[in-house]
């Protein structure tokens, strides 16, 4: 059973977006300013192994277990950040 962090302990949507932007920029080898919050993850040409890695890192950063399918269910940084912080 996954542990859900209480809403008061969750980071803000903006903090989650910032974390994701930094991580995707690093992996895609582009400047963070080049990452579009509404651009689908698939557009960054990062394979499923990278998605699994980011998912695990993001889970640890959030302090909660995330479903492996979350990146496919919420295919942009904005939608993913919102989903995990609300």
- CATH number, position 71: 1.10.1200.10
Tell whether 52 is covered by a domain.
yes
Tell whether 42 is covered by a domain.
yes
Tell whether 39 is covered by a domain.
yes
Tell whether 49 is covered by a domain.
yes
More confident residue, 30 or 10: 30
Q: Which domain holds residue 16?
A: 10-85
Q: What is the pTM of this model?
A: 0.84
Instruction: Count structural domains, the chain.
Output: 1
| 37 contacts: CB under 8 Å, gap ≥ 6 | 17, 21, 76, 77, 78, 81
More confident residue, 42 or 79: 79
Tell whether 4 is covered by a domain.
no
Q: How much of the chain exceeds pLDDT 70, in percent?
A: 91
Per-residue tokens: 45 = 């040409």
50 has a pLDDT exceeding 90: no
Q: What is the mean pLDDT of residues 57-64?
A: 94
H or E stretch at 7 = none
More confident residue, 71 or 23: 23
Tell whether 81 is covered by a domain.
yes
Tell whether 35 is covered by a domain.
yes
Q: How much of the chain exceeds pLDDT 90, in percent?
A: 57
Give whole-number Cα distances, 14 to 3, 49, 57, 68, in Å: 22, 25, 17, 22
């Amino acid at each position: 059973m996954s542990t859900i962090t209480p809403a008061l302990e969750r980071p803000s949507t903006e903090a989650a977006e910032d974390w994701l932007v930094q991580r995707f920029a690093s992996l895609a080898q582009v400047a963070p300013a080049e990452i579009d919050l509404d651009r689908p993850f698939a557009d960054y040409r990062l394979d499923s192994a990278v998605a699994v890695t980011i998912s695990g890192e993001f889970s640890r950063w959030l302090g909660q277990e995330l479903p492996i399918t979350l990146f496919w269910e919420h295919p942009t940084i904005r939608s993913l950040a919102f989903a995990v912080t609300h």
